[in-house]
Structure 1
Amino acid sequence: MSAVEIAAFVLTAAGVVFFVAGTVGMLRFPDAHSRLHALTKADNLGLGLVVLGAMLQADGLFSVLKLALIWILVIVASAVAAQTIARATLSGRSDLEP
């Protein structure tokens, strides 16, 4: 294995660890705002690490740019979704709590 392959593996494995941490936070935290925090922070960082690992294995610049665009779009979408859910919980909707 080359140094690039090892770095890609390490970055991807670290990303998976953050995904697992976000999932555990979602399952264990007591309220919707804490769960949102766990998901948005940990999952965005986890995706970033996985994307960086995939970028190291990409064939060319176009593939790297596509991966970066996907990462940016997911960050924006998760921020909008988290904001929408947080506002819904503040307005008193109880169907979002277990």
Structure 2
Amino acid sequence: MYKNGYDVLSESGALNLRGKPDSTDIITVGDWVMTDQSGLIHHRLERLTALSRPAAGEHAHRQMIAANTRVRPNRLRPTYPSQPSWF
């Protein structure tokens, strides 16, 4: 992601896309978008999942980190070795 465009992978390979100048919709890593032949992003598809964090500063808003990630909840739990029998 750059101020004036996005590097993306598509079926036809790597592309550089640009957003609509009047768009307030922020594109993040993992988003699926619809474009035209010239590489202009017209629409962001609905996110299935979103990973975000509180943004720094006084304003209460969220900062997107990634979208449409596949995370299995049981993978997030830490695994500990079993206790030794002498414990």
- Higher helix content, 1 or 2: 1
If the TM-score is normalised by the length of the shorter chain, which range does it land in? under 0.3
- Higher strand content, 1 or 2: 2
Task: Give TM-score, length-normalised by structure 1.
Answer: 0.20
Task: Give TM-score, length-normalised by structure 2.
Answer: 0.21
Higher relative contact order (CA 8 A, sep 6+): 1
Whichever of the two has the greater Rg, that structure is 2
